[in-house]
Homo-oligomer: A and B are copies of this chain.
Amino acid sequence: MLRKIKRLFDMVGVDTIIIKNASMPFIDENFFYFTGREGVWEESIAVVKEDGVFTISSPLEEGDYVYKTKEERDRILRSIVEGRVGVNEERLSHKDYSHLKKLFGKLHDIGKEIKLLRAVKEREEINKIKKAVRIAKSIADEVDFHGKGERDVKADIECMMLRHGVKPSFDTIVAFGKNSSKPHHVSSNKKFTYPVLIDLGTRYKNYCSDITITHPGRHLRKYEVIHDALMLAIDLMEPGTRARDVFLSVDRYLSRYGIKMIHALGHSIGINVHDGLAINSRADFVFEENMTFAVEPACYCKNFGIRIEEDVVIGKRKARIIL
């Protein structure tokens, strides 16, 4: 991690980075990225400097520094923070921003740089993602939905995750029949019928997987179109290719069938299930080795939807599906 932090400081002109969690659920995932800690860490702060990362916490957590009052917290903060201060404006409440500004003057937004840093994974991070994907796939293979309601299948899946010692990386989506036409369907009491769309992900040691399987029933032809779109996307995701171009190629392919994508073709995965990069028509980043993505072409018709989602690692020459 220190090597990556060194790279980050080379990119941005700041001397100290402050990552501050508010109360749940306003927890900046970068806190865990930089510190490697697990748990809740409400109202805790990670101070990132070139020579190390320090945590400041309430007595509820075991931070490197522990504060009892906000005044004490600010005293500790003042004693560690040096020079120009960087923050992540997307993950800092305006209230905390105002307070830090009062303490340290001008704050520099380095959210974009942190996103880019996080996009390229270390070997260790990729291994955790692979493990998360494998658990998700083994659960998707095992789950039995015949004769059950959406909500029961969702409970079955999430219980299996807990038994594997992992958590859902997001609320599992189980959609039967017409409900599959809603991308973010909230599972109901609806009884099993085809198509069956299941979007699930696990979080293993802070790292996320995100896969979707659709059992298309009689909509096999549409399924094949989406499957081919997925293969096309993955074939195009080579190091050096611009993300937008991959989106546009898949979009063009799907448009031949009258299918219009209503969400991104994919997104980076990592410590967050949407880890910062989206593969859409405006994506100007370039694929690099060791980036990790969920790729999810889909079509949503009036009475059914089909989505197929695989997680991939960008290799030296091409993207590989995590099996």
Contacts and interface: CB of A to CB of B under 8 A. Distances in A.
B25 A26 contact: yes
A45 to B, nearest CB: 16
A95 interface: yes
A146 interface: no
Contact of A39 (B38, B39, B186, B272): B186
A76 interface: no
A298 to B, nearest CB: 11
Instruction: Give the number of copies in the complex.
Output: 2
B184 A40 contact: yes
Contacts of A40: 170-171, 184
Q: On chain A, which size bracket covers the interface?
A: 35 or more
Interface stretch (A58-66, A136-144, A224-232, A243-251): A58-66
Interface in A57-93: 58-62, 87, 89-93
Given A159-B159, A163-B155, A60 B93 contact: no
B93 A24 contact: no
B186 A165 contact: no
Nearest to A158: B162
Nearest to A22: B90
A252 interface: no
Interface in A233-291: 262-263, 272-274
Contacts of A58: 263
A111 interface: yes
A86 to B, nearest CB: 13
Given A59-B262, A60-B262, 9 more contacts: A25-B25, A38-B186, A40-B170, A40-B171, A90-B93, A90-B95, A158-B158, A158-B162, A159-B162
9 contacts: A24-B272, A24-B273, A25-B25, A39-B184, A90-B93, A93-B93, A97-B97, A155-B159, A155-B162
